[in-house]
Amino acid sequence: MSDEQLGGDAIAIVGMAGRFGEAPDLAAFWQNLVRGESAVRRFTDEELLAAGAPRARLSDPSYVPYGVVMPDMEGFDAGLFGFSPRDAALLDPQHRHFFEVAWAALDDAGYDPGRFDGAIGVFAGSGHNAYLPYNLLTNPAVVQKVGFFLLRHTGNDKDFLPTRLSYCLNLRGPSVAVQTACSTSLVAVHLAVQSLLAGECDMALAGGCTIELPHRQGYVFREGEILSPDGKCRPFDAKAQGTVFGSGAGVVVLRRLADATSSTRSSAPPP
């Protein structure tokens, strides 16, 4: 087919991956949607205490013991990306999960980034880097040994999320940090599409990651705020009272449609 038949400005999603509450991958996420299962769960007192919630808070009537658990939140295949155990421990979990999901998305697309004959761009963002104040800065020995500058920049600053991935995978396309609050991943996709159409890259990864920390804990309800008083999120419902923040990561792999459907691939998939 000609470029005109395919549409000169058409974009194809050639791969995707994600992990969300109670769903380690897209297949599990889809099954949860089909079954109408919510990822929001109620924590027992034992679970909350084990996660570090203050005991006094459990008896607070404004405390809502609900949340969304990210599968294997603390886990990371550090060796795959060339991280030492110490560097991996200093890395924000949002970065860890984004890296793994980006790799899974490329695998789903059937492309080996090291063999792709073209520029691969990254457009992505993450949530607030709470790992730094809640986990790293509370350990004086780590701060003293590593230094605040490296702790903040090396693995926790949101601005370095896409460029760190580009460096680790030797990607040569544009690498842009996107931060637009709740629309970050959507805007990242928009910018990736524009970059592809402008010829800045031949493939683009777009998405984001957010993880609530402290993890496996509830939250305190305050009248007039956005959070739900009962841990239930009822969108488009007359009974809606607020939202429950969750954790998740998602990445799509994009190409110009003419390139994606060309009989002559610019890259061979990994064996």
Residue in 200, 202, 187 with CA at minimum distance from that of residue 254: 202
pTM flag (> 0.85)? yes
Helices (H) and strands (E) in the chain, counts: 12, 9
Residue 191 has pLDDT above 60, yes or no: yes
Residue 154 has pLDDT above 80, yes or no: no
pLDDT band at residue 7, thresholds of 50, 70 and 90?
Answer: low
pLDDT at 267: 47
Q: Which superfamily does 3-260 belong to?
A: Thiolase/Chalcone synthase (3.40.47.10)
Residue reference for tokens 């926790």: 156
Confidence grade of residue 262 (pLDDT, cut at 50, 70, 90): confident
* pLDDT greater than 90 at residue 5: no
71: three-class secondary structure by DSSP = coil
> For the chain, what are the domain ranges?
3-260
**Neighbouring C-beta atoms of residue 191, cutoff 10 Å:** 18
